[in-house]
Chains A and B, each alone.
Chain A
Amino acid sequence: MAYRTYLMVCAGTGCVANQSMKVKDKLDAEVKKRGLDQEVSVVTTGCNGFCAVGPLMVVQPDGIFYQLLKETDIPYIVEEHLIKGRPVKELMYTPPKEKVPIPKMSDIPFFADQTLIVLRNRGLINPESIEEYIARGGYEGLAKVLTTMTPDDVIREIKASGLRGRGGGGFPTGIKWETCKHAPGDKRYVICNADEGDPGAFMDRSTIESDPHAVLEGMLIGAYAIGSSEGFVYIRNEYPIALERLQTAITQAREYGVLGKNVFDKGFDFDVKIVRGAGAFVCGESTALMASIEGRPGEPRAKYVHTVERGLWDKPTCLNNVETWANVPQIIVRGASWFTGIGTGDVTSDPWGGSKGTKVFSLSGKVNNTGLIEVPMGITLRKIIYDIGGGIRDGKKFKAVQTGGPSGGFIPEALLDLPVDYEELTKVGSMMGSGGMVIADEDNCMVDMAKYFLSFTQTESCGKCVPCREGTKRMLDILERITVGEGTEEDLALLEELSNMVVESSLCALGGSAPNPVLTTLKYFREEYEAHVRDKKCPGHSCRQLITYNIDSDICVQKGHGCHVCAKNCPDGAIVGESKQVHAIDVMKCGKCGICYDVCKFDAIYIE
């Protein structure tokens, strides 16, 4: 049944958390009340990516974008937009520093500068409907592969596309498939790694939430290429919506005969099981993940014998990340040359020679437009942060961007024109990773940032090998000493030495990359470390032990007339001064909580 208007309400995790389901229910009720239910359809979609302004809704086919919706806004929108045909300006997106709202989704810079391959169906289809996926050309790739291509053709196509592992390693997917296909063994497995453990990263989660069939189709094509009949999706249990949608997708796919025995009557069998992970970060590592599927503790092993030869239950196993799998159907449908048209370098002779296609990033930290974005490889970090991301929040100054999750390095402003590319990011000490992107501004202390991410990897280290278990702990001890002002010059040298040792001698990639935040901050922000160590000062004003709160007495009396708000709010009773008089902070009593700083309306309080 066709409708005149579709209201696409985002039901990604971010928007659901912001009560988008209530908005949806209200819309349903309101549409019905107005007797529009034969003309207007309310659809829940996967994540749109612009999580910063959720709950959001797109009115199709006009493409009008509404943001920050509340239940109370609904009657007004229905009245104005659906009945009177006047889009509601107040609820549209207005870029910071500008006055005029942008009505159309496609005109908003956040969306305009993205290139969608993996997330092409986001916000356009109901992820719980296989029909809508098929209507958007879904399973066309699988049909093409099963009817017109041999497994070798598929591998050749994927190799030609230059697709590389999106889970972080950047290993050429085609080569992986080829090795797996030719590895000796009677049974082969296909695994989709959906154990996304990076704090603040939600690429894989959103991909599954908004388009689960794309992942399944990719796995089916991969299984056909390498000759596998059994696949697993290892997904963390903390992703309830993704799990549910994936389960629905698998059930639907089985009903439609695209999954299971004799797919498309072509004699190809393939089925997928979901394995739920318990949330250990290290289980994102392929060998640990396989151990976990086998029912053993999720600990990595040495990969001197590759998993494509001896992986799950010692059988050849092809493991790819969610995003990699989701790329596959599009490459098959549109062809390798279309894919190589996007991105950097040349992959015709050297598979490592360039980065092709797009990459999904989850943008978080001190940037205006936090959310999920898909950008072509080769785009500069500056474009991502300033155009798509809308610049730094509150007009502050940019300091650094961390790419690649908790083990990624920090990239300073001087390198912002760096193109997003596997090799370029590695060269500067960071990595592509699975696509986390955290932006730090001038208020962030880089030592503290490094400490934060290291404390994450330190606790998430499985503890199997000495360098990672003992080394990261000692590094964290040193960083803690530095942030409380007890660090020495020798500590800095030792920290660097330890970092290098952990990178070189750890058993798996977790230890091999965990010191990256420390190493890059030591390289690009050494002066901050030195300030902590020599001057016992924290330039980012965030290491409590190294800062003092002071009151500028002139501002306090002249502008604020001694308003006394700070003294009222101080939990330590550290602020002295009577109302309408000048106030001062007793350094001995001050607990450095920062409440006074936040409550002072006159900016009379400053940090040293």
Chain B
Amino acid sequence: MVTINIDGKPVEVLEDTTILKAAEKAGVWIPTMCHSEYFEPYGVCRLCSVEVVRGKRSRIVTACNFPVRGGMNVLTNSERVKWLRKVIMELTLSRWPNVRVVREMAERLGVAEPRFKSLERDEAENACILCGMCVNMCNEVVKAGVLGFAHTGIKREVVLPFDERSDQCIVCGSCAHVCPTGHIKMILEDYRGKRSEFTLGPKTPIYVPTLQAVPRVPVIDTESCIHFQTDGCETCAKACEPNAIDFGMKDEIVDIEVGQVLLATGFDLFDAGAMAQYGYGRLDNVYSSLEFESILNSTGPTGGKIVMKNGKEPRAVGIIHCIGSRDTNHHPYCSRVCCMYALKFAHLVKDRTSAAIYQFYIDMRAFGKGYEEFYNRLLDEGITMIRGKAAEVVEGKWSGEGEPSLKIRCEDTLIGKFREIPVDMVVLCNAIEPRTDSDVIRRLFSVSKSPDGFFLERHPKLDPTSTATDGVFIAGCAQGPKDIPDTVAQASSAAARILSLISKGEVEIEPVRAMVQEEYCSGCKICNNLCPYGAIEFLQESKVSHVNEALCKGCGTCVAACPSSAMTGHGFTDAQILAELDGLMV
């Protein structure tokens, strides 16, 4: 640590810190126009010029990059410094009289009217003040190396290589972010953003997935993170005090030995894009149920405000039921939860906005505890229920005036008429469907599926939580569409089943089971894939098959199939049966 004097004030700082940082610590303001914490000091605006006095010698240096030495006297406001700043500011102001940051800085430095003839420029046309921030950002931080300067002297300008669009540009937007005048703009061009329930709004590459996420820590999206594209940036690592950011972190596979498994892999939401008539992914302000849920969330992209893309509150909201459910073209089953969450949406929209609400339903299924009462309450709140599945959503004008919005076409079966309802926002109640990877999971655990694709329970009424494979249980929407109370009930039941086995400490198994006579086993593995319970495994060391006695149900499929008769029933070997027969016949 060394002590220096800034305008007579002593400050203690580390040697080699810049005068600018030392001045910041001392609470002395030094003007800058090209400085940023992101990259090394560039030192071109020269506004931060200060006078450094050592003994009788004094010199002008730039505060942003001049390293501090002990006993140094810095004057930030001497007559010489003030004069220099004034002339530099006059030059800058006369070149860019219309740029706001320049005008503000000039005002702050007391430069009213430059003595040079103003080079009038249209701010919109050229507001690049050549501070170099974008260039330094692109080269030093992002390391994309796209932006650079061309030409010399007064003709200097920021350019892309050969003035053409560069393939090297990763469109990270860092240049636009640091540009102090807003001269660099990001233009949305051919935008086909990913539509996920979590990416409704702009998202940084480093984000907390949801505020309910467990554990609630930020993750890095390696696809959009600058570091994973150019090896540069690492700004987050510099800012993270506990040093918690590890770019080398990778997915890993962990082996855990367990006795029982509960499959609660959930569901996928039906992609409403498959039903083009509803305009999902094509028309603005048409949302899936989960997207709308995220809009309603107070930690969501809109902070819980129900607004359209243009930021305005919708005048009417249409909620369309049974998108993909009860539909012979997609899923014949009822997704069970939509009616009730559609009512919840309606309630919240009513609560937060003054929008008119239309529900388009086939049948209302309010069958749970207190559900029918909630439905009745909603009817009292004044939402409009239209019986009839909506036919299509199209663009339309709101009663012939104002901004374009949406129109829902439908047949109101209660009055037997076709109707067109103008709305600003449409919420689709997408079906619940099995996860796309459910077959992979299923095979892994030897679990069957029902015709609708969900995991098959052992018995739909008497044993809805266990499967045909002992020790493998299912719960929630993995088994079939259900709401939260049902899921909780089923999961609790599964947990109780699992705990009862754990507390017993041992498994009772059927006495009838298959057994490998290892001396005869040729290791052909025919039995391995045949076993419906996944009870046979192959021992790599001894090259023979082995029966997991806890899983074997003694069905005998393997015994019948074994070409070398190595597989026999335990206690029922050919020799034993023949011996029994011999005994009987004596």
B-binding residues in A (CB < 8 A): 280, 282, 297, 299, 301-302, 304-305, 458-467, 469-474, 477, 494, 497-498, 501, 504-507
Contact = CB atoms under 8 A, between A and B. Distances in A.
Contact of B152 (A302, A459, A497): A459
A464 B132 CA distance: 8
Given A304-B65, A501-B84, A466 B148 contact: no
28 contacts: A299-B149, A301-B43, A302-B43, A304-B66, A459-B153, A460-B153, A461-B153, A461-B154, A462-B153, A463-B155, A464-B44, A464-B132, A466-B46, A466-B92, A467-B91, A469-B154, A469-B156, A470-B92, A470-B154, A471-B91, A472-B153, A474-B91, A494-B115, A501-B84, A504-B60, A504-B84, A507-B44, A507-B62
A465 B44 contact: yes
Given A466-B92, A469-B153, 12 more contacts: A302-B41, A302-B43, A304-B65, A304-B67, A460-B152, A463-B156, A464-B132, A469-B130, A501-B84, A504-B80, A505-B46, A505-B84
Interface string B31-61: 0000000000101111101000000000011
A461 B153 CA distance: 5
B91 A470 contact: yes
B102 to A, nearest CB: 11
Contacts of A304: 61, 65-67
B11 interface: no
Nearest to A455: B153
B116 interface: yes
B28 interface: no
A504 B85 CA distance: 11
Interface string B142-154: 0000001101111
Given A470-B95, A497-B87, A505-B88, A465 B46 contact: yes
Residue among B43, B115, B152 having the largest count of chain A Cβ atoms under 10 Å:
B152
Contact of A466 (B41, B91, B149): B91
B44 A466 contact: yes
Contact of A467 (B46, B66, B67, B149): B46
A465 B66 CA distance: 16
B43 A465 contact: yes
Interface in B271-317: none
A473 B66 CA distance: 27
B67 A463 contact: no
Contact of B130 (A282, A301, A463, A477): A463
B353 to A, nearest CB: 52
Nearest to A460: B152
Given A304-B67, A498-B87, A297 B149 contact: yes
Closest 6 CB pairs of A and B: A463-B156, A470-B91, A461-B153, A501-B87, A473-B154, A465-B44
Contacts of B80: 504
A463 B151 contact: yes
A502 to B, nearest CB: 9
Interface string B5-48: 00000000000000000000000000000000000010111110
Contacts of A473: 153-154
B149 A463 contact: yes
Contacts of A299: 149
A305 B155 contact: no
A259 B60 CA distance: 44
A88 to B, nearest CB: 50
B151 A505 contact: no
Contact of A505 (B49, B130, B132): B49
B207 to A, nearest CB: 35
Nearest to A459: B153
Nearest to B83: A501
Interface string B68-105: 00000000000010011001100110110000000000
B46 A507 contact: yes
Q: Which of B92, B117, B130 is most buried by chain A, counting CB atoms within 10 A of its CB? A: B130
A303 B94 CA distance: 29
Contacts of A466: 44-47, 88, 91-92
A505 B43 CA distance: 11
B152 A280 contact: yes
Contacts of A504: 60, 80, 84
Interface of B: 41, 43-47, 49, 60-62, 65-67, 80, 83-84, 87-88, 91-92, 94-95, 115-117, 130, 132, 148-149, 151-156
B116 A474 contact: yes
B62 A462 contact: no
B213 to A, nearest CB: 43
A139 B61 CA distance: 44
A498 B155 CA distance: 20
A106 to B, nearest CB: 45
A501 B115 CA distance: 14
B152 A462 contact: yes
Residue from A299, A304, A459, A505 having most chain B Cβ neighbours under 10 A: A505
Contacts of A461: 152-154
Nearest to B139: A296
A445 B303 CA distance: 72
B181 to A, nearest CB: 15
Contacts of A467: 46, 88, 91
B60 A505 contact: yes
A461 B154 CA distance: 8
A1 B117 CA distance: 73
Contacts of A506: 46
Most chain A beta-carbon neighbours within 10 Å: one of B61, B80, B115: B115
B540 to A, nearest CB: 52
Nearest to A464: B44
A463 B153 contact: yes
Nearest to B150: A297
Contact of B43 (A280, A494, A497, A507): A507
A253 to B, nearest CB: 36
A511 to B, nearest CB: 10
Contacts of A280: 152
B159 to A, nearest CB: 11
Contacts of A459: 152-153
A465 B149 CA distance: 12
Contacts of B95: 470
A329 B538 CA distance: 83
Contacts of A474: 91, 94, 116
B153 A297 contact: no
Contacts of A507: 43-44, 46, 62
Contacts of B94: 470, 474
Contacts of A471: 87, 91
Contacts of B152: 280, 282, 459-463
Contacts of A462: 152-153, 156
In this complex, the member of B44, B65, B67, B84 whose beta carbon has the largest number of chain A beta carbons within 10 angstroms is B44
Contact of B62 (A302, A458, A497): A302
- Give the most central of A477, A494, A498, A501: most B CB within 10 Å: A501
B3 to A, nearest CB: 20
Contact of B148 (A297, A302, A494): A297
A458 B87 contact: no
Nearest to B43: A302
Contacts of B154: 458, 461, 463, 469-470, 473
Contacts of B43: 301-302, 465, 507
A471 B65 CA distance: 22
A197 to B, nearest CB: 12
A38 B94 CA distance: 74
A471 B62 CA distance: 17
A461 B149 CA distance: 13
A604 B110 CA distance: 58
Contacts of A301: 43
A460 B91 CA distance: 19
A498 B117 CA distance: 14
B90 to A, nearest CB: 9
A283 to B, nearest CB: 11
B72 to A, nearest CB: 12
Nearest to B66: A304
